């Protein structure tokens, strides 16, 4: 229903209904108070208008009851609004396990996207309807922001880190994609389209695009090119074994624990000394400059694809890493 109202864009994701319901509450609540205030001001101004030049007002400037009323009622309303908004926000940021992972890289002034199966696009993103999609985003230069109004999702795209968003497209169609963080001359041309297709049509589209390598394969190539396995391969290496590391908690040499999420893995590639895993020395050189943002993304895809170690030897090797 809300999508028929002129002020909402189309509802094309699993969040759109939630956000619009929240919006309707905000509009209704605000309209009530705006009309209440405007109405009271006009009524009081007319009803109590000055009838003679020397007339003064009647003393009435205190009422604890009224004061409490207009303190407590707004407080309850904003607390309710806060809780509702926070609930929607948490859903926006909690991606379900197993969502297909797309990589997005922003640069002045274009969006480069890559599918899990390796297809690349510029200023376009094709998605299958009804399947949860997780986006892993980063920037090669300044801060951008990735916004799809029909999905009601947005996240800043920041150089030097990954941000994530997820959604499930619910309707086929073509939807606007905008950059919403001012990024320089052609900011308003850093736009594109998200195309949501039936799964079969999406498969056909995927098949029509030549693929040099999937994200995982690309990552594997980069892994080999940089010789990562020299230290991280096998047992008893100079660096921790990487099988199954993505997403797990690791213990740090400096004390404390950290979840090895995308940002941790990224940091460990470009600034390896920052958070060294317990049991290892800070020997690894930085690979900053030797890998670009897209390759880092591919490496992470590869690391995520590595299965948990199963042999006793590998388990023993990783014991020092993860407890």
* Beta carbons within 8 Å of 311's beta carbon, 6+ residues apart: none
**Nearest CB to another protein, comparing residues 57 and 96:** 57
The whole-angstrom separation of Cα 157 and Cα 155 is 6
Cβ 91 to another protein shortest distance, Å: 8
In the complex with another protein, which residue's Cβ is closer, 82 or 253?
82
Q: Where are the alpha helices (DSSP H) in 94-213?
A: 199-208
Min dist. Cβ of residue 88 to another protein (A):
3
- Give the 3-state DSSP-derived string for 191-204, with helices as H, strands as E and coil as C: CEEEEEECHHHHHH
* Closer by beta carbon to another protein, 163 or else 318: 163
- Is the CB of 157 or the CB of 317 nearer to another protein? 157
The least CB distance from residue 305 to another protein, in Å, is 25
Q: How far is the CB of 140 from another protein (least distance, A)?
A: 10
**Is 115 or 144 the residue whose CB approaches another protein more closely?**
144
| Minimum gap (Å) between residue 237 Cβ and another protein | 26
Q: How far is the CB of 188 from another protein (least distance, A)?
A: 4
Distances (CA, A) of 105 to 94, 109, 112, 160: 21, 11, 5, 11
**CB closer to another protein out of 93 and 323:** 93
Please say whether the beta carbons of 125 and 102 come within 8 A.
yes
Instruction: Tell me the Cα Rg of the chain.
Output: 27
3-class secondary structure, 166: strand
In angstroms, give the least distance from the CB of 32 to another protein.
Answer: 10
H-helix segments, 145-276: 199-208, 215-225, 229-232, 262-270
Nearer to another protein, 160 or 227 (CB): 160
CB of 48 to another protein, least distance (A): 5
DSSP 198: -
Token pair of 148 as six digits: 């799809």
Give the rounded distance of the alpha carbon of 294 from its chain centre.
Answer: 17
Asked if 267 and 274 count as a contact pair (C-beta separation under 8 A), the reply is: yes
- β-partners of residue 177 are 192
Q: Is 162 helix (H, G, I), strand (E, B) or coil?
A: coil
Six-digit token pair at 42?
């006009």
Q: Which is nearer to another protein, 160 or 234 (CB)?
A: 160
Biggest alpha carbon–alpha carbon distance for the chain: 98
* DSSP state, residue 234: S
Task: Scan for tokens 């109405």, then name that residue.
Answer: 39
């Amino acid at each position: 229903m809300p999508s028929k109202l002129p002020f909402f864009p189309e509802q094309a994701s699993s969040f759109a209904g939630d956000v619009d319901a929240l919006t309707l509450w905000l509009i209704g609540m605000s309209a009530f108070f705006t009309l209440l205030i405007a109405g009271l001001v006009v009524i009081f101004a007319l009803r109590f208008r000055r009838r003679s030049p020397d007339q003064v007002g009647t003393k009435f400037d205190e009422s604890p009851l009224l004061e409490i009323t207009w303190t407590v009622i707004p407080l309850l309303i904003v607390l309710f609004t806060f809780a509702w908004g926070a609930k929607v926000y948490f859903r926006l940021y909690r991606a379900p396990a197993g969502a297909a992972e797309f990589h997005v890289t922003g640069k002045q002034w274009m969006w480069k996207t890559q599918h899990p199966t390796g297809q690349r696009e510029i200023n376009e993103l094709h998605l299958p309807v009804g399947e949860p999609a997780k986006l892993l985003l980063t920037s090669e230069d300044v801060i951008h922001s990735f916004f799809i109004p029909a999905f009601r999702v947005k996240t800043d795209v920041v150089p030097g880190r990954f941000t994530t968003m997820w959604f499930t497209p619910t309707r086929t169609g073509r939807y606007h994609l905008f950059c919403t963080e001012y990024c320089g001359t052609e900011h308003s041309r850093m736009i594109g389209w998200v195309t949501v297709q039936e799964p079969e049509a999406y498969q056909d589209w995927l098949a029509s695009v030549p693929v040099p390598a999937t994200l995982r394969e690309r990552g594997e190539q980069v892994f080999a090119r940089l010789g990562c396995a020299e230290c991280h391969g096998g047992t008893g290496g100079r660096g921790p074994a990487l099988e199954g590391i993505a997403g797990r908690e690791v213990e740090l040499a400096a004390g404390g624990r950290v979840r090895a999420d995308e940002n941790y893995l990224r940091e460990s590639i470009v600034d390896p000394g920052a958070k060294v895993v317990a049991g290892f020395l800070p020997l690894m050189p930085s690979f900053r400059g030797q890998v670009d943002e897209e390759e880092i993304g591919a490496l992470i895809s590869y690391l995520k694809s590595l299965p948990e170690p199963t042999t006793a030897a590998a388990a023993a090797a990783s014991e020092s890493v993860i407890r």
